[in-house]
Structure 1
């Protein structure tokens, strides 16, 4: 009651429509909210989403690629729908309707749609922490499971056969040269991410690493582990190539999730890397077709698609230039490349296939996940450790897989090559066939 007028302080929430008792109870509820830190003022709750989204990404501590992705999702999907809505006015029912509409968009796949909703959920959680609303409109726990069950679609994959990798490597040799041939075998037998392969430097590649590692302490440890009395060839995943903000020149960044790691490699791959590095003096292990930085190319379009999908031979064609008919021959004539088992498929499946091979060979989970650049969560990851015995088993089983393939194919291992192998590579292959035959 107002001591001066004797009337209830809270006579109404609005100008009309409330009884005196309803207005009084409403006021008591607001006082309770204030005492218990639940009260959101109209001024705070009226902040528009477009204004909150403008500054919110700056509060996140994420890598540059994740930051770029988050800002893109906000710009393309969150602000267009919610930009003119006050942060405090977003209702759970409106969120559910938007979620349904979002996943129905033709350019938003299941996985990308979930990422957009995750970003929106983070936004709303932080809005609660910033006292712009009392609770998030995004359901948590059992509430998020409401609605009919939908099985998440999974990509259809076939197992990675070494015969298919061999055809990829032979196509890459014809299209790209020795770097392409070694690139495909390295991808399949290390499971490295594409951006890590682009940025693989000479000093982190066998036979130079670990003796050339610039970190003295790491070099000493690696020399003791990999170059002792019973050496194991290995390379170091130290960098990946990405463009800052998606623009500019490719820049060296830590590998995804900062998954620095040492990878033992089978002897046959060690020999191929030696052959490759002896063929050039660049600081980068894998060079582009013109001898430049591989990360400067649109690799998927200019390299992977013709290598995986195949392509017709370079032809002679006619054209009219300056009023004269000309016969034009390709400056880089290429033979016909046959399609492979990866025609139309993602390059990343080679990385998936490497894990399949490790699992088939029965390696421990900690050894497999560490090699793939993943962290094993929980107590298992805390107490587990990759030992030299585990690494040697990985090296041995990968070498056995290669030799088993060579033994089964014999001299026909290069029969499907679009071109004849260069003499040095052919000499190396002859030795591989002899080594495999001697194991019979």
Structure 2
């Protein structure tokens, strides 16, 4: 059947949707629906909070038809929410998202609800997230230096040693760096919508707006990268454009952790930690801090999480806690360098000579 005949058949079946009706942004549609819905004031306030905190930061500018075609992205978003919210909260936020999309179906804006089939509950059989060791992060970072350059090396270390999200790191701009506190800001993440890259209007959550102090070794390589940058963003593609997660993952990240058996270089062939994802770097960072005895309030602040209940009111991050975090990360870095073989260590220092200052030789003081 030809396209025109298919369209005519859909009109007769009353399933045809005008293309322009599919292009309305989720944020506009959701706010219009909420304003017109007959709801108790407490329910309306709750829904508005869910929109402002969870739905709009992710989906606000997405056309409804793009969401309809993005079942995999919806599942990934739900999985990410599980890292920050209790399961009942994830279910509540997702239920509102699905409700809005059901309204869109009834309003003939999309053919069906893409939330159907998305797994919301974590389930007892969900695979455990992997935790990398510091030396695994370092070895993968060295491979990324080989394949992607200094930016790949620094990005891998930032993943493990800051716990920031991909969207937060690739949105960093050179001029934002705080030289006094040796910190980078997390403000508005970069996001990809319908194939287009743009900065979000707000952080993923209110607690997500924060400063991340860098341990000495990471501060050194990051500032070198910033000093050499001629682009608007610190981490960019080969031609200076915004870094796309899918391309970077397939071409560079996966071979770094999974190994590349076809490589001519023996040190690139064996796997480091098969299947390890960028998001698991965030989980790894959180686990490291817990193992090192960092107070929960400091862990939450670094990851951009909100402390539950009254702890959010009465517990605060102190300068001592911040120093504990940096000291713990420095210890892990030193341990990772010691864990390399002599040949690997030589390769690291050839790649990044600046790091000689931050590799502690026995009996020698680190340069100040």
Taking structure 2 as the reference length, the TM-score comes to 0.66
- Contact 2:132–2:281 under 8 Å retained in 1: yes
The separation in 2 between residues aligned to 1:279 and 1:360, in whole angstroms, is 35
In the other structure, the counterpart of 2:167 is 195
User: Is 1:429 paired with 2:358?
Assistant: no
Q: Give the match's secondary structure for 1:262.
A: strand
Q: CA RMSD in A?
A: 4.2
Q: Give the match's secondary structure for 1:394.
A: helix
Cα distance, 1:164 vs. partner? 0.7
How many residue pairs align between the two structures?
294
The separation in 1 between residues aligned to 2:195 and 2:56, in whole angstroms, is 15
Residues 1:156 and 1:432: Cα distance change in structure 2 (over 3 Å)? same
RCO comparison, higher one (Cα < 8 Å, 6+): 2
Cα distance, 1:310 vs. partner? 2.5
> Which of 44, 56, 60 is residue 63 of structure 1 equivalent to?
56
Cα distance, 1:307 vs. partner? 2.3
- Contact 2:57–2:201 under 8 Å retained in 1: no
Cα distance, 1:159 vs. partner? 2.9
> Which of 323, 331, 336 is residue 400 of structure 1 equivalent to?
331
The separation in 2 between residues aligned to 1:362 and 1:420, in whole angstroms, is 31
Deviation per CA, 1:57-87: give whole Å up to 9, x if none: 3435441523578957985799xxxxxxxxx
Residues 1:305 and 1:159: Cα distance change in structure 2 (over 3 Å)? closer
Q: Give the match's secondary structure for 2:310.
A: helix
User: Is 1:341 paired with 2:272?
Assistant: yes
The separation in 2 between residues aligned to 1:240 and 1:335, in whole angstroms, is 37
Residues 1:336 and 1:253: Cα distance change in structure 2 (over 3 Å)? farther
The separation in 2 between residues aligned to 1:408 and 1:166, in whole angstroms, is 10
In the other structure, the counterpart of 2:253 is 304
Unmatched runs of 5 consecutive residues or more in structure 1? 1-49, 79-106, 127-149, 211-226, 316-333
Residues 1:436 and 1:376: Cα distance change in structure 2 (over 3 Å)? farther
> Which of 363, 367, 384 is residue 294 of structure 2 equivalent to?
363
In the other structure, the counterpart of 2:46 is none
In the other structure, the counterpart of 1:354 is 285
- Contact 1:406–1:436 under 8 Å retained in 2: no
> Which of 156, 168, 172 is residue 140 of structure 2 equivalent to?
168
Residues 1:265 and 1:290: Cα distance change in structure 2 (over 3 Å)? same
- Contact 2:57–2:202 under 8 Å retained in 1: no
Deviation per CA, 1:27-62: give whole Å up to 9, x if none: xxxxxxxxxxxxxxxxxxxxxxx9xx9997343544
Deviation per CA, 1:332-383: give whole Å up to 9, x if none: xx88733433323322101100000110111111110111011112111122
- Contact 2:141–2:152 under 8 Å retained in 1: yes
User: Is 1:255 paired with 2:181?
Assistant: no
The separation in 2 between residues aligned to 1:292 and 1:437, in whole angstroms, is 45
In the other structure, the counterpart of 1:372 is 303
Please give the residue correspondences for 1:230-245 in structure 2 after superposition, counting only pairs within 5 Å.
Answer: 232-243=181-192, 245=193
The separation in 2 between residues aligned to 1:351 and 1:165, in whole angstroms, is 12
Residues 1:276 and 1:123: Cα distance change in structure 2 (over 3 Å)? closer
Cα distance, 1:266 vs. partner? 0.6
The separation in 1 between residues aligned to 2:91 and 2:154, in whole angstroms, is 37
In the other structure, the counterpart of 1:26 is none
Please give the residue correspondences for 1:173-184 in structure 2 after superposition, counting only pairs within 5 Å.
Answer: 173-184=145-156
In the other structure, the counterpart of 1:269 is 218
Taking structure 1 as the reference length, the TM-score comes to 0.56
Deviation per CA, 1:257-302: give whole Å up to 9, x if none: 1411011111011111122223333232123233433248733223
Q: Give the match's secondary structure for 2:293.
A: coil
- Contact 2:262–2:269 under 8 Å retained in 1: no
Cα distance, 1:179 vs. partner? 0.7
Unmatched runs of 5 consecutive residues or more in structure 2? 1-16, 35-50, 80-89, 104-121
In the other structure, the counterpart of 1:86 is none
The separation in 2 between residues aligned to 1:273 and 1:288, in whole angstroms, is 17
In the other structure, the counterpart of 1:154 is 126
The separation in 2 between residues aligned to 1:414 and 1:199, in whole angstroms, is 31
Residues 1:405 and 1:388: Cα distance change in structure 2 (over 3 Å)? same
The separation in 2 between residues aligned to 1:438 and 1:410, in whole angstroms, is 19
- Contact 1:179–1:286 under 8 Å retained in 2: yes
The separation in 1 between residues aligned to 2:254 and 2:364, in whole angstroms, is 37
Deviation per CA, 1:382-440: give whole Å up to 9, x if none: 2221121111111111112212333444744436x6x9834xx23x2333334565269
Q: Which has the larger radius of gyration?
A: 1
Q: Give the match's secondary structure for 1:242.
A: strand
